[in-house]
Amino acid sequence: MTQVIEHSQTTRQMMRLVVFTIAGYRFGLPLESILRVVNVPEELKSSASGMLEVVPVGEYTLTVLNLRSQLSMTQGQTQAVSTRSQAEFLVVTQVETELCALRVDAPPDLIEIDAAAIRQLPAPYRQGHPLSIASHVVVLPQGKATLAIFLLEMKRVLALSENSLG
């Protein structure tokens, strides 16, 4: 499922991630799982930002997932999130046969990481925590600090969104 790039000079395996921000958290998905990144359509900009919206796009139906409200409640970042709501993008991916899009705060970045840097998310985050939508984490040095990127498990994201409706 994940494309791994091997460098001939070393035995390091590299992986390309599309990294984006939602409510102050950085998330990532493997590059090959991303179908497209687009601006939020006008009809979604003016809609109430529910957790799950369905939008017809040509002959397809796109399920748009908005994780911002759930994640911002845990961080207390409602003000920061609302000021950024003007520049939203959709990261389009596919979960089995369903086309899904995540509403993200800014255009995503493409990064290459060493596959050995990927760690399973610690147990406390995998149960009952808002970050349980992630399966793994990558912690990268960022000057004197570190940067955590949570690798999303799209089946969990979709299940969480569907559960929030009922």
pTM (two decimals):
0.80
For residue 9, the model assigns a pLDDT of 52
For residue 4, the model assigns a pLDDT of 57
In the chain, the amino acid numbered 42 is E
Which regions of the chain are under pLDDT 70? 1-11, 46-50, 72-87, 163-166
For residue 5, the model assigns a pLDDT of 55
For residue 49, the model assigns a pLDDT of 58
For residue 153, the model assigns a pLDDT of 92
For residue 40, the model assigns a pLDDT of 84
For residue 58, the model assigns a pLDDT of 73
